[in-house]
């Protein structure tokens, strides 16, 4: 699931709810559907979960929150659904953090990622936990961790069992019933997870993105390595490489779309990388750039690349596309029926600024093509002479199995059409994708260090590769996909 996680421990016995709260507020962009907080005090877990964005907390209600969520250890989660059902009841049931217990052993987890080999894991969990009910893959991660603790009574061995058994992406922070605070990543490190501390070295935290550390005035220490388990004590972080890292495969889509621009990955602010994306596209398509009059961005993920296009081309970046700030739904996350209406309401085009102009739009990616086609239609109605689309992420040809909800070939316009065909479908005069080489150069990593499965068809985990290949063959033969591929029992190995 596409989530944001945050966890924190304080060694002055201070309540940590404010840290968890602001840590999640900083990551609201990672999950709009639900949010949850969990704290630990004197051997007990205390939880609060609800739908929608992390809410504002009024000053006169803070004592109520402290009494509801006491304790000096806490974890939290913001979620959007990439497994399980999408109705409100199911979303509530799948809201994290999750707690599992058996025979006096208890563990609470906040998880970001997606599990591919769900069918055999469901069977295994049912055998060991007779009352097990599957709501989403968070259930599987939490119960697998609990099973490892029950069988080994050792946190390192339990984490190793999870890493070896689960095919997919998982960055996790959690708390055991004895108050042990920990975090770990899958063997490929697909999802982000960093660690930091407060200036007094009394408080230590894990976070999906560095912005949550910034929000709490923490110092960033390190990004967890693939296959690494980290525990925390008064002396600080203890890092344990649980299993060898077969190949790092950090999600490349974080750089183009998912992460906040003021987060840091690979030693760079994300916005700096996105600006370089924009410069690259101008270099790769100089004639198109020369034919433009103005640059327009799809706010807000297209804003940083628009700056790069402006700097490299010299064209004016006309701020004539504006996002309605309080229409907060992410069209990418929404169901098909909701998406068009929300996009139309979310983006406002200033007609007088684009009339009779040849417009270059900067866009982070094209998944279904819905957002871009709506904006192009609005530009045409406003009188734009030409509309070109500069896309920072290379053409997406395959589904993601690791926590971005583009989970079937049929919903991806790039799986069936090339750039020229996509331009016709969305109503553009041209669609210009940044090359894979340009993307890698801007990020500063090699292809083998990233997960680029949605672009190359090469999945870093074996079960995902088998399912993708099996469904691709069926899709090309005319098979109509039913829901998410990795939840289709017909193609599970």
**Catalytic sites, residue numbers:** 3
Binning the chain into helix, strand and coil, the percentages to the nearest 5 are 35, 25, 35
Task: Tell me how far apart the alpha carbons of residues 63 and 60 are, in angstroms, rounded to a whole number.
Answer: 7
Task: Tell me how far apart the alpha carbons of residues 454 and 432 are, in angstroms, rounded to a whole number.
Answer: 18
C-alpha angle 426/427/432, rounded to 5°?
75
- Kindly provide the b/e burial profile for residues 352-367, where b requires at least 16 CB atoms within 10 angstroms of the residue's own CB: ebbeebbbbbbbbbbb
Task: Tell me how far apart the alpha carbons of residues 339 and 373 are, in angstroms, rounded to a whole number.
Answer: 12
Task: Report which of 305, 337, 318 is spatially closest to residue 438, judged by C-alpha positions.
Answer: 305
C-alpha angle 266/270/271, rounded to 5°?
145
Task: Report which of 246, 251, 209, 206 is spatially closest to residue 229, judged by C-alpha positions.
Answer: 206
CA distances from 168 to 100, 251, 306 (A): 21, 12, 33
Task: Tell me how far apart the alpha carbons of residues 19 and 8 are, in angstroms, rounded to a whole number.
Answer: 7
Task: Tell me how far apart the alpha carbons of residues 20 and 79 are, in angstroms, rounded to a whole number.
Answer: 15
> Which residue spans within 120-198 are E strands per DSSP?
168-176, 181-185, 194-197
Strands 386-391 and 358-363, bridge-based pairing: parallel
CB 430 within 8 A of CB 288: yes
Residue 348 has phi, psi (to 5 degrees) of -110, 130
Task: Tell me how far apart the alpha carbons of residues 296 and 362 are, in angstroms, rounded to a whole number.
Answer: 6
CB 252 within 8 A of CB 402: no
CB 351 within 8 A of CB 423: no
Task: Tell me how far apart the alpha carbons of residues 68 and 392 are, in angstroms, rounded to a whole number.
Answer: 44
């Amino acid at each position: 699931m596409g989530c944001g996680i945050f966890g924190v421990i304080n060694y002055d016995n201070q309540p940590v709810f404010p840290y968890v709260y602001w840590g999640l507020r900083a990551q609201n962009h990672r999950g709009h559907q639900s949010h949850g907080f969990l704290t630990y005090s004197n051997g007990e877990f205390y939880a609060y979960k609800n739908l929608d964005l992390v809410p504002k907390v009024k000053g006169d209600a803070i004592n109520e929150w402290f009494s509801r969520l006491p304790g000096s250890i806490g974890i939290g989660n913001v979620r959007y659904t990439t497994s399980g059902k999408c109705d409100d009841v199911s979303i509530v049931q799948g809201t994290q953090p999750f707690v599992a217990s058996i025979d006096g052993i208890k563990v609470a987890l906040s998880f970001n990622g997606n599990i591919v080999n769900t069918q055999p894991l469901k069977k295994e969990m049912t055998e060991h936990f007779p009352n097990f009910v599957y709501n989403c893959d968070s259930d599987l991660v939490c119960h697998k961790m609990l099973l490892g603790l029950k069988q080994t009574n050792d946190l390192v061995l339990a984490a190793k069992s999870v890493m070896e058994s689960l095919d997919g992406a998982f960055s996790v922070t959690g708390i055991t019933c004895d108050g042990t605070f920990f975090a770990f990543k899958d063997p490929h490190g697909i999802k982000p997870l960093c660690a930091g501390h407060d200036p007094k070295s009394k408080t230590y935290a894990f976070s999906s993105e560095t912005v949550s550390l910034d929000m709490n005035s923490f110092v960033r220490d390190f990004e967890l390595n693939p296959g690494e388990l980290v525990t925390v004590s008064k002396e600080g972080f203890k890092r344990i490489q649980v299993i060898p890292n077969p190949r790092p495969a950090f999600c490349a889509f974080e750089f183009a779309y998912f992460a906040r621009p003021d987060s840091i990955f690979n030693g760079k602010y994300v916005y700096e990388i996105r600006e370089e994306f924009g410069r690259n596209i101008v270099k790769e398509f100089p004639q198109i750039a020369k034919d433009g009059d103005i640059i327009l961005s799809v706010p807000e993920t297209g804003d940083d690349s628009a700056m790069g296009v402006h700097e490299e081309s010299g064209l004016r970046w006309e701020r004539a596309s504006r996002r309605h700030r309080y229409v907060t739904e992410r069209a990418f996350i929404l169901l098909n029926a909701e998406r068009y209406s929300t996009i139309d309401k979310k983006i406002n085009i200033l007609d007088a600024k684009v009339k009779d102009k040849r417009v270059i739009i900067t866009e982070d990616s094209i998944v279904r093509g819905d957002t871009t086609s709506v904006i192009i239609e609005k530009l045409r109605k406003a009188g734009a002479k030409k509309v070109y689309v500069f896309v920072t992420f290379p053409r997406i040809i395959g589904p993601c199995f690791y926590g971005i909800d583009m989970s079937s070939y049929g919903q991806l316009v790039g799986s069936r059409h090339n750039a020229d065909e996509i331009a016709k479908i969305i109503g553009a005069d041209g669609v210009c994708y940044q090359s894979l080489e340009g993307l890698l150069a801007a990020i500063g990593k090699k292809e083998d260090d990233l997960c680029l499965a949605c672009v190359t068809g090469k999945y870093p985990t074996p079960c995902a590769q088998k399912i993708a290949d099996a469904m691709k063959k069926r899709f090309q033969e005319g098979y109509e996909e039913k829901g998410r591929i990795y939840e289709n029992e017909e193609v599970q190995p």
